[in-house]
Structure 1
Amino acid sequence: MEPTTQMPHDQRQPKWEGKACAELRSPKAEQVWPLLEDFFGLHKWLPALPTCLPVQGVSGQPGCVRYCAGVKTPVDLESDQPAHWWCKQQLLSIDPSQMTLSYCNIDGNIGFNSYIATMRVLPKEDGCSIEWKYEVEPIAGWTLKDLDMLIGTDLQEMASRMEASLNQ
C-alpha cells in the first residue's frame, strides 16, 4: 500500500474566510451593478488582472466560465510561484434584484483551492458600497492577512475605477 499525501478530513485546517468592503460616494448601486455583473469584463476594473476572457457560456448566466491571468502578486514576489498566474472561474449564481453574484475557481496555478466568492452592491443614502466575501483553503506560503490585504486592495482599486468611469 502506498502512503497517502492527503490529510484525513478531521485534520485539515478550516477554510479561511474574509470580507472586504469599498465605498463609492456618488454612484448609485443601480449604476455600479451593471459594471460588476459583467462577468467577462473584470479586467476593465482591476489593473492587476490584464486578461479576462470568456471560455464558456454567456456572461451573466450561471455556469459561464472566464479565464483570468496576470503577473505575480506582491505576496509571491519572493516565492517560487510562477511569474504569471492564471485561473478559470465559474459563475455559480447571480441575482440582479439583490445585486449579488457568486463564483468559484475551477482550475489554475495560484493555489486558491476551494475558493468561493460572493460580491454584492449595497445601496446607501449617498452612493453605494461593494462587498466581496470569500472563503478558500489555506494557501501555501500565504497568511490570511496576506489574502485580506490583496483582496481589499483589489476591491478598493476596482471601486475607484468604477466611480471614476461613472463620474465622467
Structure 2
Amino acid sequence: MDEKSEKWQGLISTKLNSIQPDEAWSTLGDFFNLHKFLPSLATCHKVEGSDNVRYCASEPDQTGTVYWVKEKLVEFNPIKRSYSYEIIESNMGFGSYLAELRVVECDDGGCKIELGFECEPILGWTRSGFVEYMEGGVKGMAKGVEDALCANDGNL
C-alpha cells in the first residue's frame, strides 16, 4: 500500500465512573456546544446559514495562531447516543477526516465516551502523536462533562 492511500484509524475512550450515559449525552449531544466541555476550544458555534456545520477555534497560541476547523454533522442518533461528523475545512493540515462520538453504557456502572476516527495522515504529525493529542482531548472532554454535571447537580 502506498503512503497516499494509507488511512489512520482509531478508537479512543475514557470512562466516567459516576455518570450515567443519559446524563453524559445530555451535555455531549449538542453538536454546537463542544467548547463548553473541551478545554482547548475557545469557541464552537453553528455556521450562519447552515443547519449542520460548526466552526470551532482555539485560543491564540504563543505565536498568536488560532487553530480552527469547520465540521459537518453527517449523522445524529440520540437513541444510540452518537453522532458522526467530518472536517470540511481547517487550517490544521487535515485532508479527509471522519469521526463518530458515542456515549456507551458500561456493564460495571457509569459510561464511557468513545471517539472513533478515520483520516488521511496529517501533514506534520505522526499517527502516534495524533492519537495522543486526541486522547488528551477525549480526557479533557470527560472532565468537562463531569465538572458541568457536578456544577448542575451539586453532587453525583
TM-score when scaled to structure 1? 0.81
| DSSP-derived class of the 2:39 partner | coil
1:89 aligns with 2:71: yes
Unaligned runs of 5+ in 2: none
The structure-2 alpha-carbon separation of the partners of 1:14 and 1:35, relative to structure 1 and needing over 3 Å to count, comes to same
> How many pairs align?
149
Deviations 1:38-87 (A, max 9, x none): 011000001111111111444xxxxx0001111478xxx8xxx9821111
Per the alignment, residue 18 of structure 1 pairs with 10
> What amino acid sits opposite 2:39 in the alignment?
P
> What amino acid sits opposite 1:129 in the alignment?
K
Identical pairs, percent: 37
- Aligned Cα root-mean-square deviation (Å): 2.1
> What amino acid sits opposite 1:42 in the alignment?
L
Q: Which runs of 4+ in 1 moved over 2 A?
A: none
Per the alignment, residue 123 of structure 2 pairs with 140
Matches within 5 A, 1:42-81: 42-55=34-47, 56-58=49-51, 64-71=52-59
The structure-2 alpha-carbon separation of the partners of 1:72 and 1:19, relative to structure 1 and needing over 3 Å to count, comes to farther
For the 8 Å contact 2:82–2:103, the answer to whether it is kept is yes
Larger-gyration structure (1/2) = 1
For the 8 Å contact 2:60–2:67, the answer to whether it is kept is yes
